[in-house]
């Protein structure tokens, strides 16, 4: 391993470089991952299937409780009872969620909020972006995340799933859930527990009619949208879903392409990106 | 008008100060404005009324053309033909919009893009925010805007209305329009002409079923959503709409309240805001 090399070696290395450069990054090994079946939930509506990937490394207690409730069939008794324009869709049992919204009585203590991890304990892949709400933004194993340099938390981008709560920080436990359906309400970050992301079926939730009662709740139970089935994913469910690995080279290329819009349609290629405009491809 | 004043005058001024301080800023004169009737468009769908405020100071030629087309009844022949999840809803004549999406042929030159104004020529009210896409952000007379310190342009926040175009920058003229229904696609800023904002009726557009063809276009004409009527607002339409004046003190208070979430629900008050999360109250 000296510093000298023959001309032949030199040209071979150049050739290798040239040949390897145009390799399509989307085809590299490890680009796509199948989410772990144990972290996948399926919500069946009359309109189709919604698939949620849970984030146990950020909210282990809530995720464990959601999985327990799912196994017990709890969510089969729940409905979508809120559709708040440019904000969230929420589901749960009407009587439980109504209690959360009561500001008059303190509710029974359930689970403490699970809001962030130490930056050294997670695989935070920072992206180059100037963020309104956080010093740093990026991704952790498939989820958009933000950081102050010490802690890392999941970011309320479109499609992220959180745990509804009332006034008391510990008034939620995952029996009521919401998904972001509008412009990212990032002011919710670090105020409420985020537990996952919708991988498939967002249009079924985001296109629901809006509730016209306060905060986008439906006016009457007749307007509730039934959840026909809520279960852990089967092997075949898991096999049918592939998500781009946010730790892969292909994802880095994806972020770069979303940052510098080189498509000929763009006259101003931007060269900037905001966390929630990156998106994570699925197939 | 000397520099000396009597004790009585001094105390009267202090009293005046104290009395005027707690005056509710939302009640100050000039808080609410009625948009000019000549800049208001009404789009009637089977589901209800959508109201659009035009921004002639940013796109005078496009706005003039849209008003001409409206008077001629052009839009009464148009349909909503695209509903792209987390992005835009678009309307126009199917044959015209389809031509825009063709990358094979150049379309006839229509209007040149109208992308920005000189910062000295508009009333740019900057807000304190770290923006991913622009050096400065704020509002201009009712519209979210961004700036590089020299130019000011309208920002693609939720509810903003723009002019569809094809590959050629001058392939649009306002006969096809879109509205942002998802997370702000700010990479479109300075690439396409923005002409206004939906003041009322966003839920009617954002909750439409999503098109499943490429780019969220509807698969077949049977899925198009008819526009029953598209007209300039009448006096009574205009009187029924009041928008918070973004140049008012009340709006400054609104921005401050959205920045520092003092509501007891918040355990982390954020103290940060992103342009498209400000929102402009209507009543």
The predicted complex's ipTM stands at: 0.89
pLDDT of B26 > 70? The answer is: no
Q: How far is B206 from chain A (nearest CA, A)?
A: 7
CB contact under 8 A, A272 and B132: yes
CB contact under 8 A, B130 and A129: no
> Would you say A65 and A174 are in contact if contact means Cβ atoms under 8 Å apart?
yes
pLDDT of A12 > 80? The answer is: no
pLDDT of A36 > 90? The answer is: yes
Nearest CA in chain B to A211: B203
CB contact under 8 A, B85 and A131: no
CB < 8 Å & 24+ apart, contacts of A140-143: A140/A57, A140/A58, A140/A246, A141/A57, A141/A246, A141/A247, A142/A33, A142/A35, A142/A53, A142/A55, A142/A197, A142/A243, A142/A245, A142/A246, A142/A280, A143/A55, A143/A58, A143/A196, A143/A197, A143/A246
Of the listed ranges A230-244, B3-17, B54-68, B180-194, the one predicted with least confidence: B3-17
Q: How far is CA B224 from the centre of its chain?
A: 24
**Chain A interface, Cβ < 8 Å to B:** 83, 85-86, 113, 129-133, 157-159, 167, 169, 182-187, 189-191, 202-203, 206-210, 258, 261, 264-268, 270, 272-277
Phi, psi of A282 (to 5 degrees): -125, 165
Looking at the partner chain, which of B132, B169, B183 has a beta carbon nearest the beta carbon of A131? Answer: B132
Query: Rounded to 5 degrees, what angle do the CA atoms B28, B34, B35 make?
Result: 130
Instruction: Name chain A contacts of B258, Cβ cutoff 8 Å.
Output: 187
Q: How far is A46 from chain B (nearest CA, A)?
A: 14
Q: What pLDDT does A106 receive?
A: 56
> Would you say A145 and A138 are in contact if contact means Cβ atoms under 8 Å apart?
yes
Looking at the partner chain, which of B157, B191, B207 has a beta carbon nearest the beta carbon of A208? Answer: B207
**Interface probe, candidates A128, A169, A182, A216, chain B, greatest B C-beta count within 10 A:** A182
Binning pLDDT at 50, 70 and 90, where does residue A30 land?
Answer: confident
CB contact under 8 A, A268 and B191: yes
**Chain B interface, Cβ < 8 Å to A:** 83, 85-86, 113, 129-133, 157-159, 167, 169, 182-187, 189-191, 202-203, 206-210, 258, 261, 264-268, 270, 272-277
CB contact under 8 A, A182 and B158: yes
Q: Which two tokens stand for residue A281?
A: 């491809």
Nearest CA in chain A to B158: A183
Instruction: Name chain B contacts of A183, Cβ cutoff 8 Å.
Output: 157-158, 182-184, 276-277
Q: What is the pLDDT of residues A72-127, one digit of tens each?
A: 999 999 999 999 999 999 999 998 887 776 555 556 889 999 999 999 999 999 99
Query: Does the pTM of the predicted model rise above 0.95?
Result: no
Q: Which of B54, B87, B79 is nearest to B199 (CA)?
A: B54
CB contact under 8 A, B133 and A274: yes
pLDDT of A15 > 60? The answer is: no
Segment A183-202 shows an average pLDDT of 98
Residue-level length of chain A: 283
Q: What is the pLDDT of residues B124-174, one digit of tens each?
A: 999 999 999 999 999 999 999 999 999 999 999 999 999 999 999 999 999
pLDDT of A228 > 90? The answer is: yes
Q: What pLDDT does A103 receive?
A: 56
Please give the mean pLDDT across all residues of chain A. 89
Binning pLDDT at 50, 70 and 90, where does residue A227 land?
Answer: very high
Q: Which residues pair with A88 in a beta bridge?
A: A180
CB contact under 8 A, A207 and B209: yes
Q: Which of B128, B31, B115 is nearest to B138 (CA)?
A: B128
Instruction: Name chain A contacts of B202, Cβ cutoff 8 Å.
Output: 85-86
Looking at the partner chain, which of B129, B206, B268 has a beta carbon nearest the beta carbon of A132? Answer: B129
Binning pLDDT at 50, 70 and 90, where does residue B113 land?
Answer: very high
Looking at the partner chain, which of A132, A208, A274 has a beta carbon nearest the beta carbon of B272? Answer: A132
> Would you say B187 and B173 are in contact if contact means Cβ atoms under 8 Å apart?
no
Please give the mean pLDDT across all residues of chain B. 89
Instruction: Name chain A contacts of B189, Cβ cutoff 8 Å.
Output: 268
Q: What pLDDT does B131 receive?
A: 98
Residue-level length of chain B: 283
pLDDT of A20 > 60? The answer is: no
Q: What is the pLDDT of residues B197-227, one digit of tens each?
A: 999 999 999 999 999 999 999 999 999 999 9
**Interface probe, candidates A114, A201, A212, A274, chain B, greatest B C-beta count within 10 A:** A274
Q: How far is B202 from chain A (nearest CA, A)?
A: 8
Binning pLDDT at 50, 70 and 90, where does residue B21 land?
Answer: very low
Q: How far is A56 from chain B (nearest CA, A)?
A: 23
Instruction: Name chain A contacts of B182, Cβ cutoff 8 Å.
Output: 158, 182-183, 206
Nearest CA in chain B to A267: B191
pLDDT of B20 > 60? The answer is: no
**Residue A32: C-alpha distances to residues A71, A198, A254, B37 (Å):** 28, 17, 13, 53
pLDDT of A17 > 90? The answer is: no
Q: How far is A77 from chain B (nearest CA, A)?
A: 25
Binning pLDDT at 50, 70 and 90, where does residue B107 land?
Answer: low
Binning pLDDT at 50, 70 and 90, where does residue A2 land?
Answer: very low
């Amino acid at each position: 391993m000296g510093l000298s090399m023959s001309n032949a070696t030199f040209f071979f290395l150049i050739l290798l470089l040239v040949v390897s450069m145009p390799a399509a990054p989307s085809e590299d090994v490890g680009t796509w991952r199948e989410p772990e079946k144990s972290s996948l939930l399926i919500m069946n509506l009359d309109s189709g299937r919604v698939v949620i990937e849970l984030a146990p490394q950020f909210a282990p207690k809530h995720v464990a409780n959601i999985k327990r409730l799912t196994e017990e069939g709890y969510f089969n008794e729940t409905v979508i009872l809120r559709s708040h324009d440019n904000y969230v869709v929420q589901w749960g049992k009407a009587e439980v969620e109504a209690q959360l919204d009561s500001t008059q009585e303190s509710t029974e203590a359930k689970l403490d909020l699970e809001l962030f991890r130490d930056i050294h304990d997670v695989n935070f892949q920072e992206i180059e972006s100037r963020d309104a709400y956080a010093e740093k933004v990026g991704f952790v194993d498939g989820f958009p995340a933000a950081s102050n340099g010490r802690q890392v938390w999941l970011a309320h981008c479109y499609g992220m799933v959180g745990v509804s709560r009332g006034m008391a920080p510990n008034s939620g436990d995952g029996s009521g859930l919401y998904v972001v359906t509008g412009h990212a309400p990032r002011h919710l970050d670090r105020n409420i527990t985020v537990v996952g992301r919708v991988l498939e079926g967002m249009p079924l939730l985001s296109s629901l009619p809006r509730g016209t009662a306060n905060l986008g709740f439906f006016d009457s139970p007749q307007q509730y949208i039934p959840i026909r089935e809520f279960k852990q994913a089967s092997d075949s469910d898991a096999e049918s879903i592939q998500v781009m690995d946010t730790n892969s080279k292909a994802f880095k290329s994806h972020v770069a392409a979303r940052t510098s819009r080189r498509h000929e349609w763009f006259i101003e290629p931007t060269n900037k990106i905001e966390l929630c405009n990156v998106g994570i491809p699925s197939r």
